[in-house]
Structure 1
Amino acid sequence: MVVWRQYLVPEAQAAKVTYGKQNTKKYIVIHETDNEKSGADADAYARLQFNGMHREASWHLTVDDKEAVQSFEFNYACGGAGSAKGNLQGIQITICVNSDGDYSQAVHNAAEVVARIMRDESIPIENVVQHYYFSGKNCPRKMREGQANWLQFLAYIKNAPIGTVRKRKIPTDIERYHVVTGTYETRQAAENVHDVFKYRFGWGVHMEQISDKWRLKTALFTSKAEAKAAEKKIKAAQLSEVTDVIAE
């Protein structure tokens, strides 16, 4: 069962990276992240968009082997297709290729999500296209290179059990949560981890000096479950042996 949740980019940020609410939604455009680094999953890319990426780019949904995370409502014209037509008429879907994920499962999950969007937006299968269709870019690269067959992907969409796509409500916890690391001996060591948090995991992050050492504190997560998942990711990547989840 694919979980589809929203982590919508604030309107002020959306105005900088989209063409506004003028998407005619005639196409569904398939992309891949082309980023095989561990941790570069759907949550990380959604947070990158939410916190403001270092480049002007945008897409509606990111899908990995566990979930689909929506960054923009579909009426926004996102700047991901590489052409005005693709941007103004396309719903942009990006599939993760992170090395610690299951690419094949991510492709299947994307097919189920696309099938749901086709039904909801009355988009025909003929209008499900690759990023290449609008720009000539070799994207989705893995799929174009045969690691997942495009025709088979379209077959997955046609046969997808739409009812298994489960939209999850945005958490309504009153409290929000930070993850705090242990201390680092030098500022440079803390900065190295800071960059992983920010650019690979997509988290907002703050550096704090504690006496002659340094530690990191993430921006707020919207639920304790999300903060715990982030804590687990930090330890799996061996970025800090000590972590703590703190409510605020």
Structure 2
Amino acid sequence: MVTIRQKLVSVSQAIKITNGKNNAKKYIVVHETDNTNNGADADAHARLQIDGNSRQASWHWQVDDKEAVQSFEHFWECWGAGTYVGNSQGIQVEICVNSDGDYIKAVENAASLIAKIIKDENIATQNIVQHNYFSGKNCPRNIRAGKVPWSYFIEMVKSAEDIQNPPVETQKYRILTGTYSTLKAAKSAAHVMKTTFGWLVYIEQDGANYRIKTGTFTGINTVKKAVNKIKNDKLAQVTYIKDAEEDV
């Protein structure tokens, strides 16, 4: 397993170079940096993003022969794929091609990282795509040239972990919290869900009290993970999972 760490871009910077926090996380989009300069490794590209990238571009991960560094949580819609759908539904992974690095090892690390993302985000392996898939750009250049054939790269992902393609789930759910005695308490919890988790949330009055209702989550496993986030951050003592089609 590749070494993973975070070097997250600040929210104030992120809002300038993304489309916000509603990434559908349907695809993993594979790129190469095209930067062959010595030292243009994962940390260098992470620093580029955190210090304010002069380009109108952003991506979630950069991977080299030693590590994978995360710049954005997956809920951000980064400007990487070149199209609205690719940006709003894709997790962008950049493979470093610095000349002082081991490119083949970087590709192996990218496969290992993507195997983890597949499990974490419940993404099907057939939705691992090249940047070219969305924009037509010749990217990832070396993979497309056959240095590591795309079919072999996908097999690397599959063999990096014991991955099972997740079943396609279409059932949608919402989370309702128990009630808060004050509007201030409900707003405080809702603020964390919006800004930290990237969720769509609503505050509803329930008699003299208030409760939070989330937007929809697709699949029971996804909504259960969301409930665990609420519990772990102690945002609500009671939660309910509801079918999104129910009148709540």
User: Normalised by the shorter chain, which TM-score bucket?
Assistant: 0.5 to 0.7
Report what 2:118 is aligned to: 118
How far has the Cα of 1:151 moved from its partner?
A: 0.4
Offset at 1:162? 7.1
Write the distance in 1 (CA, Å) between the matches of 2:7 and 2:28. Answer: 20
Aligned to 1:104: 104
Show the counterpart of 1:208: none
Rg larger in structure: 2
Q: CA deviation at 1:27?
A: 0.2
1:139 aligns with 2:139: yes
Offset from partner CA, 1:190-237 (integer Å, 9 cap, x none): xxxxxxxxxxxxxxxxxxxxxxxxxxxxxxxxxxxxxxxxxxxxxxxx
2:62 — aligned with what?
A: 62
Partner residue in 2 for 1:19: 19
- Structure 1 pair 78–162 and aligned structure 2 pair: CA distance change class (3 A): farther
Moved over 3 A (4+): none
Q: Deviations over 1:32-83 (max 9, x none)?
A: 0001110000000000000001111000000000000000000000000000
Alignment of 1:149-228 (within 5 A): 149-161=149-161
Q: What CA RMSD, in Å, does the superposition of the two structures yield over aligned residues? A: 1.2
Q: What is the aligned residue count?
A: 163
**Cα distance in 2, alignment partners of residues 162 and 46 from structure 1:** 29
Structure 1 stretches lacking a partner, 5+ long: 164-248
Structure-1 residue corresponding to 2:76: 76
Partner of 2:46: 46
Question: Are 1:30 and 1:130, in contact at CA under 8 Å, matched by a contact in 2?
Answer: yes
Map of 2:230 onto structure 1:
none
Identity, in percent, stands at 60
**Residue 79 to residue 157, structure 1, CA distance change in 2 (3 Å):** same
Q: Residue deviations 1:157-193, cap 9 Å, x none?
A: 0000379xxxxxxxxxxxxxxxxxxxxxxxxxxxxxx
Gap runs ≥5 in structure 2: 164-248
Name the aligned partner's letter for residue 105 of structure 2.
Q
- Higher RCO (Cα < 8 Å, 6 or more apart): 1
1: CA distance between counterparts of 2:30 and 2:144? 11
| TM-score of the aligned structures, taking structure 2 as reference length | 0.65
